[in-house]
Chain A
Amino acid sequence: MSEYNFAYLDEQTKRMIRRAILKGLAIPGYQVPFASREMPMPYGWGTGGVQVSAAALTPDDTLKVIDQGADDTTNAVSIRKFFQRTAGVATTEETEQASIIQTRHRIPEATLREDQILVYQVPIPEPLRFLEPRETETRKMHSLEEYGLMHVKLYEDISQHGQIATSYAYPVKVEGRYVMDPSPIPKFDNPKLEMAAIQLFGAGREQRIYAVPPYTQVVSLDFEDYPFEPTKADHACDLCAAADSYLDEVIMDDAGGRMFVCSDTDYCRSRRAAGHVGRLGTEAPLSTGPEAA
């Protein structure tokens, strides 16, 4: 770790990112341009989140990294290892224990606290990008608060499909001003965006940072007669029986057998540790793998 500065980035880069984060917090939902650096992992693999985490970490932090809700997905493992090596910080898989959580595509199920920071990896920070590819145009729309295009798109969904056909990266309006992309979290997670923790969003390739301070009003866009609806698979977790968590669908065999399990691996583990047992589950193992049921 002596080859590189604490948390990899040089101090000037960190200052630049820190200034962007502070402006982001002062203008919730507005995308602050920043001179994203090349990181030792590819663009699109969390470089924005990694830069934000690197600028926010102190040696006293305990870091948790999740991808798709899980701590053990390969890219989460890789990012966690990066910070262990370059910042020497403690890491954890327990949401409860973490002071900074870097995430891709999920908000943890457990309610986050005031002393926690949630850092999102963001691929395309511009919520209007798929309606208007030009930055010059979308920047103008944000400045004029001209979000008609987004409403038209959602309305076209309704006329064509009978409902809003956006299931993840569902756009939100922050504090009544900026329309924001919450990153590709399932819309099931949208209601959690109003939370006690600080939320920071980093898009490395697109060179944008944005933020949502605690308790900020975050409203999922909808229509009076077609209200926003957070959805998930209509099952309980087959391992821990949770009925309130977002589920991954797992194909079990060639005959199309399926099971549903919590995408948040720590939530599932802690529930099993507390004695909750799902349709196909046994109690959580402490050190050895579970016996075949």
Chain B
Amino acid sequence: MTARTTAQADIYAGGFADPAVASAHAFRAALDVMARPGTWRSLTGAQAPTGLSEAAATLLLTLCDPDTGVYLARDIDSAALRGWLTFHTGAPLVPAAEADFAIGGWDALMPLDQFRIGSSEYPDRSATLVVEIPAQSAPNVTLTGPGIKDSARLHLPDIAALQRNAMLYPLGVDLFFTTGAQVAALPRSSQITAEG
């Protein structure tokens, strides 16, 4: 078997075993974390060929299709990942400024203001970022707002940038954080207070 056919096999592998049921479970995890900012949930079912966590891969297969533009940040962009995403979702790859979904590590995704934040009449026409993080780090912010009973805690890669995003409310981007098989979310509606 040549290297090329191996890579191609990777492209076809890693989809949902039972798409309707797997994506239903995955969506519930996504729903739950978006409704409860700062909460971590397990998110499993899909395997991307290289460099993408199971949680991020599962999220992409659950939410992306030919109707959504996807931006792959340079740190995770690869021919294999492009092939996998195209084969499994049919989502067109687009520049950051047009993306419905943007995936990558925080630094590679920056600057934050290159993504769509919606318009005042259609604030929903905004990007959703899937930020790959190395691990669940110790929380550095306290979150309050919709979905949060008293307060929640989370580790954010750049507190000031995300506070600016929250200031744009009701405009702004919404974020998922993924690592391994875990996912958490930060909608634009959360107020962010730095700890310590």
Contacts and interface: CB of A to CB of B under 8 A. Distances in A.
A215 B149 contact: yes
Given A6-B21, A20-B124, A25 B147 contact: yes
Interface in B77-133: 100, 119-124, 126, 128
Interface residues of A, number: 46
Interface string A2-40: 000111000110111011111111111010110000000
A27 B170 contact: yes
Contact of B62 (A18, A196, A216): A18
A139 to B, nearest CB: 5
B189 A175 contact: yes
B187 A11 contact: no
Interface string A85-126: 000000000000000000000000000000001000000000
A76 interface: no
Q: Could you say which interface size class chain B belongs to?
A: 35 or more
A27 B65 CA distance: 23
Contact of A28 (B27, B68, B119, B146): B146
Contacts of B24: 6-7, 14, 56-59
Given A23-B124, A24-B124, A175-B189, 18 more contacts: A11-B20, A12-B67, A14-B24, A19-B100, A21-B31, A22-B174, A23-B174, A26-B174, A26-B188, A56-B27, A58-B28, A140-B121, A175-B145, A198-B31, A198-B32, A214-B35, A215-B146, A216-B147
Interface of B: 19-21, 23-25, 27-28, 30-32, 34-36, 62-68, 100, 119-124, 126, 128, 145-149, 169-170, 174, 187-189
